[in-house]
Chains A and B, each alone.
Chain A
Amino acid sequence: MSLLREQMNVVIVGHVDHGKSTLVGRLLADTGSLPEGKLEAVKANCLRNAKPFEYAFLLDALKDEQSQGITIDTARCFFKSKKRDYIIIDAPGHIEFLKNMISGAARAEAAVLVIDAKEGIRENSKRHGYMMSFLGIKNFMVCVNKMDMVDYSQEVFENIKSEYSAFLEEINIKPKSFIPIAAREGDNIISISPQMPWYQEAFLMEALDNFSKAAPNYARPLRFPIQDIYKFTAEGDERRIMAGRIESGTVSVGEEVVFFPSYKTSRIETIEGFNVEKATEAYAGQSTGVTFQTQIYIRPGEIMCKKGEQGPHVTTKFKANIFWMSKEPLIKGKDYKLKITTQQVPVELVNIISVLDASELSSIGNKSQVDRHDVAECILETLKPVAFDDINHIAETGRFVIVDNYEIAGGGIILSPVFEQESILSQYVKSRDFNWVRSDITPLKRALKYQHKSALIVIIGDPDTGKKEIAKALEASIFGLGKFTYFLGISNELSLTEASSNDRTLNKMQHIQQLGNMSHILTDAGLVFITSISDIDEYELGMLKSLNQPNKTIVVNVGENRFPIDQIDLVLSQKENTQTAVTKIIDVLRKAIALDPEYFI
């Protein structure tokens, strides 16, 4: 039955012109997987254009590909064996299209690497082999193609086999088979070839069927990255559903769960779905959704794990292997965006440990940047903590991409977390304060003169809760009391200086940094500085407070409070009218910053 048949994604890789597309074309033709008339049509087209027919034309569908005779981008083709259905991903071999090869290979569960018997092992034979080990593809075989061009010589085959095996051993790949083939002639493709009686092991099709699918991730700890949070109240649906795909483990109704990096906890109430029987358990591979017994506020990006199971690492620094695909090099001190599971955070390259030439496995000494097609071991640091696993523990939560200027510029796998005392932020604050030349007017002198202490008053809450109106009215009231105050009404989306990036994730962090620095100056000058901000999380609020240190920060939350109560100085209901809200804030300020003369400064 077709419904129960398994499906496997196989990528075909190797150096340019070693016959990958020919192999796939032949495989499709010989297994009867081509649409009726396709073979005849391509042959007729060749005849019309007076060029010899090639099986590769069945695959190289783009006009440029046919005219240049090379594969530019990966193609998906479908074929069946007796055992299972295959999606074959025909990847380009030219170095120029390495990113396309990697896009194809990253989807694959198995790889066939093709080497031309006559040309032997070439640069991309090795590079692609290395990338398969990087991508963690365990099902791997090598086909030595064009055996007809070397008179089906066993010696040629054995030489390539021993040389390439030695290379694979260095990168820790054990091929499941090494097969001599002639794709154009159909030798050892879907049956054993009489041309090479010295080879009696599996032919290509048989070797593909011998690959086994990786065991599912059920047995490992739960990793459920939250992709999004839905509440379709407008359509009369009161469920608050956290949706995502389970990357490993299982989770059941009633179980207690912990979120990383926030460490918040809750308990599963239901597992949701549409047009399915109500489930009590969800497991790795499923895109599902859950509701909770107690309401918690987290953002998309957190990883839900099970209490009692081993959790992921949570740090801002880690060691990783990166391959770089962008023409612009990866450099230190620049803000990039890291995407790992469903988390997106600003990231910087801190240190390059080594850079490897993947075609030679030799390291390139002392590089200060990572160039296109380099593979590098690096230390990266994020501006906020991220949750992840080592690649060898749970691969799905141990790999990431780096985005530069709208584009995925590099991919990487995490080798280990790096635990360090000082974050980028605390180092920054330290060096800022160290370089700050202070005058003889101390904060106390200023406070005595102004008759109040300084503070940053930040009003937080959901968009459209009237925060800005409260902030403005507050400024007017404090000003009316004869105090020194300033309200900065700047939208979340805007930066105080010209944005250095066009990325939302990076801009948001930049905005908070700028706001923190500005309030540090204004509160240092003795002012009561007021601002409002939407959509800020606990960590970002902490950042703002750190940047404003040693000066005081007072946090007012309008509407539903999503923060631990010890982080908030005052919670206001959204229904409160502006004047009552201001009165309540002033009440807090009387003591906190000695707004009232009866309190000592």
Chain B
Amino acid sequence: MNKVMSKLDVLESQSIYILREAYREFKSLAMLWSIGKDSTVLLWLARKAFFSHVPLPLVHIDTSYKIPEMIEYRDRLAREWRLNMVFGQNKDALTAKRTFPEGAIDRLQCCKLLKSEALKHTLAGDWPRYRLNHRTGEYEVDQNKEPYTGVIVGVRADEEGSRSKERYFSPRDRNNDWDVGDQPPELWNQFKTDFALGTHLRIHPLLDWTELNIWEYIERENIPITKLYFDQGNGKRYRSLGCYPCTFPVESTAKNVHDIVEELRTGKFANIAERSGRAQDKEDGGGLETLRRTGYM
């Protein structure tokens, strides 16, 4: 038999290994699902790791500014795959309209409130979590308020500078802060799985994947993906998904996964950064690092 592992096989095997380590070591484990292509690949890898099951909650931070198709797609897959689906949001900031562009705050502050703060409190369990009841099809307040001590996140090293410095298992302190100067050693697939009370770990199974690998894998596995990534006939598509005030589509006529793979491999996007359509990265000269040190994904 042919025993050659392709590049995607190697990436897949490593990610599965990391997911299984996390599942064995963390009693209170959750996976962040942003609905985007990366965390959807992550969800698929969980089904691979656990033989079609997803034995952990999927947490979505709903800023209420997400493109509506994203929420539809989330709930459709959640029903089809019987996912343990949970979302959280910053109700106070939304009610007080402390958001961009409505409120008198900038993009970074908006991200901090609607994403970092909402994430922090949803993970800690001190803000309500809304869980999908598969019987009624409705979201209701989750009775489980236990903090998640392990959080699986789909960030990739090739996305931007501070992510290129991440560990597979990356500790966050009580305030969700990331100490980039003093990260734990990580060798021979032995990760940091021990942690003090009150702290938690971010787990990054996709660190070694590139944007192209993600799309190649989506194509190979035939993973259902939201159609916002494809040109719907107006010559535009989203390359990276976020909130609509801060995410802009790119000019592209890629109509399906195969077109996107070709476009990334040899076409016009072969050398253009993926997050070029994400406005918050451009603030402050180190925008994403600033956000990420205080808990942003």
Contacts and interface: CB of A to CB of B under 8 A. Distances in A.
Given A3-B216, A273-B51, A102 B187 contact: yes
Nearest to B288: A61
A433 interface: no
B24 interface: yes
Contacts of B265: 2
A503 B180 CA distance: 25
Contact of A61 (B3, B14, B50, B162): B162
Contact of B271 (A36, A61, A400): A36
A325 B9 CA distance: 33
B225 to A, nearest CB: 15
A286 interface: yes
Contact of B188 (A106, A237, A243): A106
A399 B190 CA distance: 10
Contacts of A232: 50-51, 53, 55
B152 to A, nearest CB: 15
A463 interface: no
A37 B167 CA distance: 27
Given A61-B165, A411-B188, A287 B16 contact: yes
Contact of B164 (A2, A75, A273, A411): A75
A149 to B, nearest CB: 28
Interface residues of A, number: 71
Interface string A30-53: 001011111000000100000000
Contact of A286 (B5, B24, B196, B207): B5
Contacts of B47: 274-275
B20 interface: yes
Nearest to B15: A287
B7 interface: yes
B186 A103 contact: yes
Contacts of B30: none
Contacts of A503: 194
B98 interface: no
A111 interface: no
A62 B7 contact: no
Chain B, interface size category, equals 35 or more
Given A3-B6, A281-B1, A275 B194 contact: no
Given A35-B271, A76-B208, A286-B13, A408 B51 contact: no
A2 B216 contact: yes
Contacts of B8: 3
B17 A245 contact: yes
Query: Which of A4, A100, A244 is packed against the most chain B CB atoms within 10 Å?
Result: A100
B10 to A, nearest CB: 7
Nearest to A395: B188
Contact of A85 (B7, B55, B185): B7
B158 interface: yes
A255 B11 CA distance: 28
Given A235-B53, A273-B51, A403-B194, A62 B158 contact: no
Interface of A: 2-7, 32, 34-38, 45, 61-64, 72-78, 85, 87, 99-100, 102-103, 106-107, 216, 218, 227-228, 230, 232, 235, 237, 239, 241, 243-245, 250, 272-275, 281, 283, 285-287, 289, 300, 325, 337, 339, 396, 399-401, 403, 406-408, 411, 502-503
Given A63-B286, A408-B192, 12 more contacts: A2-B265, A3-B8, A62-B165, A62-B289, A99-B184, A103-B185, A227-B21, A275-B47, A285-B13, A289-B51, A408-B187, A408-B190
26 contacts: A2-B216, A2-B265, A3-B7, A35-B276, A37-B272, A62-B162, A62-B181, A62-B289, A72-B165, A72-B180, A76-B158, A76-B164, A76-B207, A78-B210, A85-B7, A102-B187, A107-B187, A218-B3, A227-B20, A232-B51, A243-B20, A287-B14, A289-B51, A403-B194, A411-B185, A503-B194
